[in-house]
Structure 1
Amino acid sequence: MTASKTNGTASSDWPFPNPRVVRDEYLPKLAIKPWLSAHTPERILKNCRVVDPASGKVLDGLKSITIADGKIVSVENTANETGSNVIDVEGNYVSPGLIDCHVHITATPGVKTMLELVKLPDQLTSLRSTFVLKEMLARGFTTVRDTGGASKIIATALEEGLLEGPRLFQCGKALSQTGGHADFQSAVSGGNQTGCCGGHSESLGRVCDGVPQVLKAVREELKAGADFIKIMMGGGVSSEADPIDMIQFTEEEVQAITKTCDRMGNKISTAHAYTPAAIRHAIDNGVKAIEHGNFLDAPTARLMAEKGTFLTPTLACYGIMARKPFEDFLSEVGRPKNLEVMEKGLEALKIAEEAGITVCYGSDLLVSMHALQTEEFTVRSQVLDSPTILRQATTNAAKLLKQEGKLGVIAPGAYGDLIVLKSNPLEDITVLDQPEENLLAVIKEGRTSMTRIKDL
């Protein structure tokens, strides 16, 4: 019998006739996970004007950024580098990849109202989320933090290159009490239903009541790979049964969650909270971060600063939900609540910065609103300067994610996550809200995701 090469080895006693010869180039596809690819080879971007969010300055002189194995190796003055792996950025601005700390990637386009959204089948939601992720990366967001809906499965698919999109940090399903912000079950008197979508995975959150249930819920989310835990601590805009000033979960329930986070991997917990009362309820019981905070006052802001509590405001979303074509997205109950929180958001943002809170960037958009993800930059620019806002979407966000030195910076050892811009975002942050005009390239871990630059 003729010797054949199978899986890279020769055999003279193959029991079947004419075995297929497996050439070397086919071998990678026989791996357990054939979609995994090696990091890109070394690349050098030269003639870069490097934006440093931490200092709020552009580094002196033109720089060359060397990236290998997905990470930045060096940032040095541009010399006369040549070679096929050298790309001339031609003096354009290079900034760290953007980080959005409040997204819902499973709140996908394809529906018009919140009620339709929470009824979507889980598999359809997952498939549609791939579109949302790809679009976020194309807008320059190389990392996102999902605050209800995403899973470790999606995060792993992104990490392995099976999906195209940003690096994903996720909390699984947000935790809500019955009648809380993530309970979208119809209000039926005397019913024995288990809350939002019957407790299934077809929504942004899950319902749990009492210490035993919240313990089980937080343990299940952490076991499933949640990077942090989200707790609904106060009323919300899109949920109908809870006014904005409602306080949710008892002290015992919240402490059961936060202590479990500490004990199961030292995970951070964050709270959906608009009012000072809800924020204090969260902080007093061990929560480390706040989402929204639209009614934040100066005393509560000082408390947050003293405790090192993070804040991720989400301001643009309220204006977006109040105008065409999304004016019917919220129910009749949600629309006045939306206007209520929109009026106070900018004032709260200013109070937070003045108090010294570490503020992060968040968009909190749903359905087709995701396309307006960068509008948050323009809204914040009404009360804050450009360097401050850029830090919120880079270095501050990296602190919240416990990724200091890895994300939000252009420095040796950091991930090779970069965006190339025509204009300097430190002078005018709103250039980031005009990606079609100013965004020239997006690079994640050394791989080009979008480019208008020759050879990049």
Structure 2
Amino acid sequence: MTTRPNLTIFRNLNLLDGTGRRPVVDAAILVEGNRIRAVGRAAEFGSVLEDASSYDCGGRTVLPGLINAHEHLTWRRGIGGFEDRVVRQPAGKLLVRGFGHALISLLEGVTTVRDVGSKEGLAIALRDAINAGQVHGPRIIAAGAPIAMTGGHGSGAVRVANGVTEVRRAAREQLKAGADLIKLMASGGFVARGVDSPTAPQFTVDEMRVAFDEAHKAGKRTTVHAHPPAAIHAAIEAGVDCIEHAGLADRETAEFLAERKILVVPTLSALRMEVERGERLGRPAWLVEMCRQSLPEQKRMFRALLEAGCMIVAGVDSLGDLQGELGHMVDEGMPVPQAIAAATLVAAQCLGVEDQVGTLETGKMADFIAVDGDPLTDIRALRKVALTVKDGVLYHPDTVRTAIGPGLMTDFR
């Protein structure tokens, strides 16, 4: 019998399909092209096994490809403060950095990335290159250049806009450039001091509302970088879909987020990595200390989000990896199944792609990973990625490593 090259059966695996159903032992996944044709117990596949090429998963656990819902592929890692590693870097160098980090994402089992900000919208170009098959990388949902006020968060790598008219124009520009979502900087952050401190709200409700209206008219989603309650409440009043960080959110704000069903991407790794590695990464001493002092508040915030029943999504920001983020979530009290969902189904819902990825079901994209061990009993098993399948293409870790320059592989992660 002739084997159909477009049909592959992944067998000898334990299945976590991401739907919440119980794990399936001795399961199989039938992939045709870039889609899942069938998934379930291997014994139920019948004669179709004879008509497909076969891949033995070695009894490993297979689950949906991970989704990193807060990333900056072209800003990632790097030495020095934000000015040195991003603002003063030429676009070409940042784009090359993005190509490398896209490959690292596959190595780590991440098949979909929501890039929430890049200088000059470089992540859009990276997305298009991957979609065109010119380079390998995860599926990218790109915000393009974030919109910020004069002197606002991310200055030097954002689209500056002030007032309702300018903000509307900026949103339209990003949409015209191909942005998949619109992001505004609604508060300061852990990059600068003064007007850009994390306690400082930025943008008015009216300014944010026009940007969100433009995005929603175009069928796109919206998000904001926001730490203090005032900025979070203003963004919700303006009609935002998601909040990034929420680092200073109190219990009342957490309950309001849950009531409004606003998704939250807390990025726990960001502060912790700055504290643990900031000195080695050449960060200013005041920044490392500010992050250190803010850690207890971040812990309180996350527990408040959990207790309020918020829809929490996993995202890394520019340091660490998704496995570390999920580990932090579990350490702070999140049940392991909820943590895995935060990087699969709930993350897919956040991106608006739950009909394509996030669970392993017939008709969805062939995006999945195989790991050694059982992540339901030990979340650290997600670090042991043995293979990544994205869009029906299989990536072995060793093969991916050879395509990544040693300068990136040895960089602080």
Superposed pair shares fold, TM > 0.5: yes
C-alpha distance in 1 between matches for 2:208 and 2:51: 58
Higher alpha-carbon deviation: 394-403 or 235-244: 235-244
Report the Cα offset of residue 337 of structure 1. 2.8
The one-letter code sitting in structure 2 at the alignment partner of 1:44 is I
Report the Cα offset of residue 128 of structure 1. 2.0
C-alpha distance in 2 between matches for 1:71 and 1:54: 17
C-alpha distance in 1 between matches for 2:22 and 2:269: 26
Contact preservation (8 Å) 1:108, 1:125: no
- Is residue 287 from structure 1 mapped to residue 240 from structure 2 by the alignment? yes
**Unmatched tracts of structure 1, length 5 or more:** 1-38, 184-195, 197-202
Q: Which residue of 2 aligns with 1:62?
A: 26
Q: Which residue of 2 aligns with 1:156?
A: 128
Q: State the TM-score, normalizing by the size of structure 2.
A: 0.88
Q: Deviations over 1:366-414 (max 9, x none)?
A: xxx45x4431122112121211100000000010111113111111011
Q: Which residue of 1 aligns with 2:324?
A: 375
C-alpha distance in 2 between matches for 1:353 and 1:56: 22
Q: Which residue of 2 aligns with 1:340?
A: 293
Q: Which residue of 1 aligns with 2:7?
A: 42
Which one has the bigger helix percentage?
2
The one-letter code sitting in structure 2 at the alignment partner of 1:378 is G
C-alpha distance in 1 between matches for 2:263 and 2:132: 30
Q: Which residue of 1 aligns with 2:386?
A: 440
Q: Which residue of 2 aligns with 1:36?
A: none
The one-letter code sitting in structure 2 at the alignment partner of 1:246 is A
C-alpha distance in 2 between matches for 1:97 and 1:253: 37
Structure 1 runs, 4 residues or longer, greater than 4 Å off: 325-328
Q: Which residue of 1 aligns with 2:147?
A: 175
C-alpha distance in 1 between matches for 2:88 and 2:211: 27
C-alpha distance in 2 between matches for 1:235 and 1:427: 38
Q: Deviations over 1:397-454 (max 9, x none)?
A: 010111113111111011101100111111111222xx3xx2111111111112579x
Secondary structure at the residue paired with 1:229?
strand
Report the Cα offset of residue 343 of structure 1. 2.0
The one-letter code sitting in structure 2 at the alignment partner of 1:48 is L
Contact preservation (8 Å) 1:440, 1:452: no
**Unmatched tracts of structure 2, length 5 or more:** 400-413
C-alpha distance in 2 between matches for 1:386 and 1:284: 32
Report the Cα offset of residue 314 of structure 1. 0.6
- Is residue 273 from structure 1 mapped to residue 226 from structure 2 by the alignment? yes
C-alpha distance in 1 between matches for 2:162 and 2:5: 48
Map of 1:173-212 to 2, 5 A cutoff?
173-183=145-155, 196=156, 203=157, 205-212=158-165
Q: 2:111 aligns with which of 142, 156, 168?
A: 142
Return closer, same or farther for 1:451/1:42 CA change in 2, 3 Å cut-off: farther
Report the Cα offset of residue 90 of structure 1. 2.9
Return closer, same or farther for 1:78/1:451 CA change in 2, 3 Å cut-off: farther
Report the Cα offset of residue 282 of structure 1. 0.7
C-alpha distance in 1 between matches for 2:127 and 2:390: 15
Q: Which residue of 2 aligns with 1:388?
A: 338
Secondary structure at the residue paired with 1:280?
helix
Q: Which residue of 2 aligns with 1:14?
A: none
C-alpha distance in 2 between matches for 1:392 and 1:124: 32
Q: Which residue of 1 aligns with 2:56?
A: 88
Contact preservation (8 Å) 1:74, 1:411: yes
Q: 2:100 aligns with which of 109, 131, 142?
A: 131
Report the Cα offset of residue 304 of structure 1. 1.3
C-alpha distance in 1 between matches for 2:50 and 2:60: 18
Secondary structure at the residue paired with 1:287?
coil
Secondary structure at the residue paired with 1:74?
strand
Return closer, same or farther for 1:326/1:347 CA change in 2, 3 Å cut-off: same
Secondary structure at the residue paired with 1:57?
coil
Q: Which residue of 2 aligns with 1:104?
A: 72
Contact preservation (8 Å) 2:227, 2:249: yes
C-alpha distance in 2 between matches for 1:227 and 1:423: 35
Q: 1:414 aligns with which of 364, 380, 388?
A: 364
C-alpha distance in 2 between matches for 1:218 and 1:55: 37
Q: 1:226 aligns with which of 179, 200, 214?
A: 179
Secondary structure at the residue paired with 2:89?
coil
C-alpha distance in 1 between matches for 2:104 and 2:174: 27
Return closer, same or farther for 1:451/1:68 CA change in 2, 3 Å cut-off: farther
Higher alpha-carbon deviation: 64-73 or 317-326: 317-326
Identity %: 28
- Is residue 359 from structure 1 mapped to residue 312 from structure 2 by the alignment? yes
Secondary structure at the residue paired with 1:65?
strand
C-alpha distance in 1 between matches for 2:160 and 2:248: 25
Q: Which residue of 1 aligns with 2:84?
A: 116
Secondary structure at the residue paired with 1:41?
strand
Secondary structure at the residue paired with 2:283?
coil
Q: 1:450 aligns with which of 396, 399, 402?
A: 396
